[in-house]
Structure 1
Amino acid sequence: MVLNLYLNLYSSSCRSLYIFAKLHVISFDMIPVDLMKAEHHSKEFVQISPLMKVPVMKDEDFVLGESVAIMLYLCRRFKTPDHWYPDDAKGCALVDEYLAWQHLNMKKHCTKVLWMKMMIPHFFRHSVPHENLEEATKDLNHSLDLLKDKFLRDKPFLTGDRISLADLMALEDVVQAISADYNVFENRPWLREWQEKVESILGQELCDEVHGPILKLKEAPAISSEMLNKFNVMKSELL
């Protein structure tokens, strides 16, 4: 039976999963979930995943949420090349370390900059206080510094000499910030060099296909009234 992946390519986690499945010729049906229309909060979606988040994977009657869990499942289920998620204890631990760290660092701060520079002012028509945006970019810059000083150092890739899940997920988080017109490459030639290495392995055609929607986010349709209402409830937390 074909794998079902519930995705939205505005999400860095969904893009990572889509690229990984395509790269390894894993047969799947992509079921788009329109976040702008709050479809992830719909009754139909909640029946599939009460987490109300994308991505979600359904493999026959087995349903799994959370991008890292899904990615590791695909590695084991389809026996993907070892360098993505190594069998040896130390290599595996290095990938695990990054995947554990990125949720509250790279992913959080890249996404926050996207919301403050693009989503909130463009789609929700709400101004973002300068000091809030300044704090968000400061946090992102700190995460980018750690990406270099803690993880990449003088290696070709984040956990060693070969690409891993850490590089794939980090790349897609960086693309979130790029899509908000934030210059992540300023004074960081190493970041562009690393990005080019990762994309050359993934394939430029696949990267262009997957990055297209998020890089053209401003052209996306207007958000639903339900999403506007949710924003009004959450804006004190976001701002």
Structure 2
Amino acid sequence: MSPIIFYFDDLSQPCRAIEIFLLMNDIPHDKKKIKLAKGAQYSDEFVKINPFKKVPVIDDNGFILTESVAILRYLCRQYNVQDHWYPNNSKLRARVDEYLEWQHIGTRAPCALYVWDKVFTPLLTGVGTNERRLNNSFKRMEDSCNCINDIWLKDGKKFLTSYSISIADLLGVTELEELKLTGYDPKEGRPALAAWMERVRNATNPHYDKVHSRLNNLSKKYSTKAKL
């Protein structure tokens, strides 16, 4: 069988989660970068692959799959990966699924919206985001971080859904890493969240740092102090 073709952009949070997973599990794959900032997702060639015009996408020997959660679940079932990533035990798997269902509006939407309002709107338009809108998106982002610290990681849990790392942790941590672009540090004042992020990083390094290298470099260039 040929390696998976992985269509990605390394500034995409879910793309980074999938790449860490592929590397951690030694799943053979060839990377094809789709430069979102240059509109490569709108090319005729890519639209044939994903008519939704988004990454990530995988092509597993002719089986094309979009959407990060679906991709990670598929990889866990299709390839010989350790059980902790997506457990076979029904109750443990349900806990992972519980976070995955919450993730879209609980973590991804508020964090991505704040990054967009704080960094990309001024960068692309030359005009700052409306102060009321920015305050609202900042509050939603902070509420999301608080939920992870106070609810998902309560009772001394080491990871989001249990005491072992899972695909939920990869999706969650990559969203919070994106906040570096704004100069906001979600770890400050949240000891459980801070320890969890470091735990995920340690469990997946050196891949974690490698996959986040471009984000880290850009954060030095674009980040501003998130003072509202």
TM-score with structure 2 setting the length: 0.92
Amino acid at match of 1:212: S
In structure 2, the residue matched to 1:124 is 125
In structure 1, how many angstroms separate the alpha carbons of the residues matched to 2:57 and 2:158?
31
1:173 paired with 2:172, answer no
Structure 1 residues 62-211: aligned runs within 5 Å: 62-153=63-154, 154-203=156-205, 205-211=206-212
1:49 paired with 2:53, answer no
1:28 paired with 2:29, answer yes
The answer as to whether partners of 1:98 and 1:166 remain within 8 angstroms in 2 is yes
1:216 shift after superposition: 2.6
SS in 2 for 1:63: strand
Amino acid at match of 1:119: F
Amino acid at match of 2:188: E
Would you say how many aligned residue pairs link Structure 1 and Structure 2?
219
In structure 1, the residue matched to 2:12 is 11
In structure 1, how many angstroms separate the alpha carbons of the residues matched to 2:108 and 2:171?
9
1:60 shift after superposition: 1.3
In structure 2, how many angstroms separate the alpha carbons of the residues matched to 1:47 and 1:124?
30
The answer as to whether partners of 2:22 and 2:28 remain within 8 angstroms in 1 is yes
Q: 1:116 to 1:214 in 2, by over 3 A?
A: same
Amino acid at match of 1:5: F
The answer as to whether partners of 2:148 and 2:193 remain within 8 angstroms in 1 is no
1:179 shift after superposition: 2.5
In structure 1, how many angstroms separate the alpha carbons of the residues matched to 2:119 and 2:216?
11
5+ long unaligned stretches in structure 1: 221-239
In structure 1, how many angstroms separate the alpha carbons of the residues matched to 2:123 and 2:165?
35
SS in 2 for 1:216: helix
The answer as to whether partners of 2:181 and 2:219 remain within 8 angstroms in 1 is no
In structure 1, how many angstroms separate the alpha carbons of the residues matched to 2:91 and 2:80?
19
1:149 shift after superposition: 2.7
SS in 1 for 2:212: helix
**RMSD over aligned Cα, in angstroms?**
1.4
**What are the Cα deviations for residues 141-178 of structure 1, in whole angstroms up to 9, with x where unaligned?**
11112112331112111111111111111110100112
1:77 shift after superposition: 1.0
In structure 1, how many angstroms separate the alpha carbons of the residues matched to 2:217 and 2:112?
16
5+ long unaligned stretches in structure 2: 222-228
In structure 2, the residue matched to 1:212 is 213
In structure 1, the residue matched to 2:226 is none
Amino acid at match of 2:107: M
The answer as to whether partners of 1:122 and 1:218 remain within 8 angstroms in 2 is no
The answer as to whether partners of 1:8 and 1:33 remain within 8 angstroms in 2 is yes
In structure 2, how many angstroms separate the alpha carbons of the residues matched to 1:115 and 1:211?
18
